[in-house]
Structure 1
């Protein structure tokens, strides 16, 4: 009985396996399947499946030509083989696009002739100047900064300006969705030949366009004569050279709200000739990335809906001045800001970040040489951090021999008053080349005074901080700083780390207590060197030695248990109204 049931069940299953389900699919469904294949080569190969599929590939909605690590392992790696494979790749692009010129529109077209490899990835053979035809299907959803390591995928002379111009024209006429074109660096010989520049494609049907053209000359059409980017939501324009005859202004006009009413993400990177950036963006623009615009002299951006802004490798002379005439960004809804400031005194690029979660990080100088050092970039950054309520700031103090010989000045004056920060965390960093010890109290209080709405304050003190032996040193200017009240009416909690009992640090603590009528608690943690010195030399506990200031100091942490030496002290106000500064010492 069981055998009969098994045979009866197996018979329909075998019959179902013989049914050709694919042949019953409509052409529309088959075209969707072809559009999901990762390579144009794979799409063409489907013509061998049956006579019905023979010409179906010419109507495929997506065409992708790409190179990748697998191409290094295809066949031999001789220069002749690779050159032939590279030529076939470019010729295949020309051939396929020519066939589609009179046929159905292409929904997605991707041509990638550059392979990006990060350190530690697959390495090509020694003859990696060329790459065979290999296709993958990356589908980036957001702008990414391109990796630094670009491997050429084709011989430089194969990708001619005429070919590039033809591909761009095809995209303008026949691509109805997404267009991506990435090219290797343009051959100098070809660039010197004086070929006419390619023209930036303009289409009402494109919703995504990503162009990285290897430094090719690019002409920008007039916004009135060109079709507007009415459907465009995502644009990357990278590694192109604009003519100095107003192409930068025409580009800005094309990217304006009138021509791009639905633009959401925009990246402009490594564009030569972009001198004036005047962007009147649509309210839909949420992400703007400006990278490596080394010729830019003026930047004006109006983006009411902008939420994320990235600025990298923008020339220091533009951003350091940050004058109203040269830089203006109106983005009231900005939530995330990254500004990578390449400035010599930082020792390289230093990122200033507003992370999108209401926290900002930056670095400022306490002193510097006039007309050479400034905090203009930090001031500009703070003015565009209205969304932040917490700020981590590194206060960098440099008093090396070279600067001490020059007439340095206070640079904290460059910092504007910021009223949106309620949580301020300062790290005092004295440079390694600094001579002797220097006082930090004056600079720290001047910086704190810029943030008078703070409710929480943390100060990490550098171990090089101490009494300054140079009577004329600028580290203690302005004189009488400890007697000047700082308006800190909202301050309730203070943490000070690595405290040493030098005069200016004691005066700093007293000035904070006197300036904060609502202060509920202050924690002062002693620097470990102070504890060790006291115990080693006198076998004594490291006392705090700070006036009571209308409150009471009590130890709250100990080294080696509660019967060891105190490492932290807590100040709390007395229950009665604070009197004038007390004299009691702990």
Structure 2
């Protein structure tokens, strides 16, 4: 959208009786009559120069007023439109902020014009001479093969703060002195930063992110930064990113370690290291004594060195994803202020121990390891995320008395036999806030629900049928490993492979942990092309007398079944659920897509006939497409079923 021009706008005659738009008794426009300072405050509250410019159509008084705002903000606006707008702004000492975050045009030709205009916008910004300059290029800007596109930073004489994110562009810094600059934030392909910093006598705070700089040039740039840092300059953020432009840099262990040590000598408050190297690297983890946050997202990096007592004394947040540390317990011990920890366990780790008095959030990934035990003792831990792949005999101990949110992924590396012919493939637990159901849909009621978010724990068991024998697994013991006990929702994902499932589900529902806490049961059945046909002595029928057994599921209020086929075992299971769970309120059932069209009506009617004796239960049958299969009349004409939409 273009910014309004300064041309005269024809106005209609005022309404009779002085009923002007201002609503005053004299018919005047009271808002336009306000002092200019107050009008500028009103426009400033819009937070967008484009929106402020649109007010020019309201009245003569508002025309061009947006150009005198102290803070000019352009968000998601094409470069060409921003350049035209800046041409109408007269330089004045009151301009405090110029914030430009460009949008990428969808059309190819328009995008090319944007590329050409974007590089000259900083020159237009120099003419306005704001105190604070913010300039962001979108991620897809000016990326093409060949010589890297360059963007030049002009000499800002009055500017005290510059924040420039040039994405992958080569950033050319001015040769002249910037006498007023105090804060600088640069992101892009930067090579001559150290020389530029020597021409900024008042600069005290630096944030820099190097993107896709050739490793040898990066190392030299980091080493050169050490000189201006001796003058009192503080590095707030140091970012290193490889792989943004899909460059395939080859880095050896020694060079990678040298880059890390050069970064540590700059003593950044925050470190962000993102790489996509092809090879597996081994290196020491150097000292970052002043860092409060370290985020490293790398591929296959193994840190070998244990830390001394004085390292990472200020560290509050540590994220080492994709890389591993030899000794997790030592690392945690040497971070006394650590609040957030995210990391991968090394494949050779036997025991993982995390003992911390300060930790509030922990994320631990352990795949393809030799781990035999996990011991976590964290008295103020609030969030825990474990992603494990190990044998069933893994020992897990978690002591976290105020734990609120859990994400638990436990995949079994061997066949974990639990009952009959059933094997547990994966056990998952998730904590979900504001978990409310209405008409079968998940609703997030947000802050309006209550001041304290309502949380429930969802347990998901992925179980499959298999003829082979595996390692015996005590399911109760596996559930006891989970550090929360009030499982409100139970999801059973059964890959039955033509076997009957009712007897096995009865076996699971008989467990004490499930009987006493489950309020909602979701049963997801696997699809197969034919009806289940098992031998009479097939283990899937055990226990044989499950139809005559009694279990108490007094807390269960909702049962949902996905991929329902309507076999005898499934129909009997629906019947028994009403006797086991007398407080059921809802029972939505979705038919499998493999069911024959001629069988849909009979299957749905079997369910509805069962529900006739329980009028307080809302029970619906759906097709796999989501269409409801309604019964035309529950009384007198129950043999006729009509398929249609709600």
1:207 paired residue number: 292
Aligned residues: 438
The SS at the match of 2:572 is helix
Residue 485 of structure 1 and its aligned partner are, at CA, apart by 0.7
Check if 1:491 corresponds to 2:561. Answer: no
1:194 paired residue number: none
2:545 paired residue number: 480
1:265 paired residue number: 340
Q: 2:183 aligns with which of 25, 30, 33?
A: 33
Check if 1:250 corresponds to 2:330. Answer: yes
2:255 paired residue number: 159
Check if 1:357 corresponds to 2:418. Answer: no
Cα distance in 1 between the residues matched to 2:518 and 2:502: 18
Which whole-Å deviations, capped at 9, do the CAs of 1:138-196 have from their partners, x for residues lacking one? xxxxxxxxxxxxxx3x653771645544543x14xxx25223445675988x97xxxxx
Cα distance in 1 between the residues matched to 2:207 and 2:593: 65
Residue 89 of structure 1 and its aligned partner are, at CA, apart by 3.0
Query: Is the Cα–Cα contact under 8 Å of residues 510 and 549 in structure 1 kept in the other structure?
Result: no
Does the C-alpha gap of structure 1 residues 486 and 549 become closer, same or farther in structure 2, counting only changes over 3 Å? Answer: farther
Query: Is the Cα–Cα contact under 8 Å of residues 302 and 331 in structure 1 kept in the other structure?
Result: no
- Structure 1 residue runs of 5 or longer lacking an equivalent are 1-12, 48-52, 72-84, 117-121, 130-151, 192-196, 361-386, 569-586
1:323 paired residue number: 395
Q: 1:56 aligns with which of 201, 206, 209?
A: 201
Query: Is the Cα–Cα contact under 8 Å of residues 239 and 271 in structure 1 kept in the other structure?
Result: no
1:92 paired residue number: 221
Cα distance in 1 between the residues matched to 2:581 and 2:597: 32
Query: Is the Cα–Cα contact under 8 Å of residues 486 and 512 in structure 1 kept in the other structure?
Result: no
Does the C-alpha gap of structure 1 residues 292 and 30 become closer, same or farther in structure 2, counting only changes over 3 Å? Answer: farther
The SS at the match of 1:56 is coil
The SS at the match of 2:333 is helix
The SS at the match of 2:294 is strand
TM-score scaled to structure 2, two decimals? 0.54
Query: Is the Cα–Cα contact under 8 Å of residues 429 and 461 in structure 1 kept in the other structure?
Result: yes
Cα distance in 2 between the residues matched to 1:241 and 1:108: 26
- Superposed counterparts of 1:508-523, under 5 Å: 508-519=573-584
- Superposed counterparts of 1:250-329, under 5 Å: 250-255=330-335, 259-260=336-337, 263-269=338-344, 271=346, 274-283=349-358, 285-290=360-365, 294=369, 296-312=371-387, 314-317=388-391, 320-324=392-396, 327-328=397-398
Does the C-alpha gap of structure 1 residues 239 and 159 become closer, same or farther in structure 2, counting only changes over 3 Å? Answer: farther
Residue 266 of structure 1 and its aligned partner are, at CA, apart by 1.4
Does the C-alpha gap of structure 1 residues 23 and 322 become closer, same or farther in structure 2, counting only changes over 3 Å? Answer: same
The SS at the match of 1:507 is helix
1:398 paired residue number: 465
Does the C-alpha gap of structure 1 residues 388 and 202 become closer, same or farther in structure 2, counting only changes over 3 Å? Answer: same
Q: 2:243 aligns with which of 97, 115, 118?
A: 115
Does the C-alpha gap of structure 1 residues 480 and 101 become closer, same or farther in structure 2, counting only changes over 3 Å? Answer: same
- Structure 2 residue runs of 5 or longer lacking an equivalent are 1-89, 94-126, 132-155, 162-177, 417-422, 437-453, 622-628
2:404 paired residue number: 334
TM-score scaled to structure 1, two decimals? 0.58
Residue 42 of structure 1 and its aligned partner are, at CA, apart by 6.2
Does the C-alpha gap of structure 1 residues 496 and 42 become closer, same or farther in structure 2, counting only changes over 3 Å? Answer: same
Which whole-Å deviations, capped at 9, do the CAs of 1:308-340 have from their partners, x for residues lacking one? 33333x4412xx32435xx43536323141526
Cα distance in 2 between the residues matched to 1:272 and 1:251: 17
1:380 paired residue number: none
Cα distance in 1 between the residues matched to 2:215 and 2:429: 42
Q: Which moved more, 1:19-28 or 1:210-219?
A: 19-28
Does the C-alpha gap of structure 1 residues 528 and 350 become closer, same or farther in structure 2, counting only changes over 3 Å? Answer: closer
Cα distance in 1 between the residues matched to 2:319 and 2:229: 25
Structure 1 vs Structure 2 CA RMSD: 5.1
Residue 442 of structure 1 and its aligned partner are, at CA, apart by 0.8
Query: Is the Cα–Cα contact under 8 Å of residues 427 and 459 in structure 1 kept in the other structure?
Result: yes
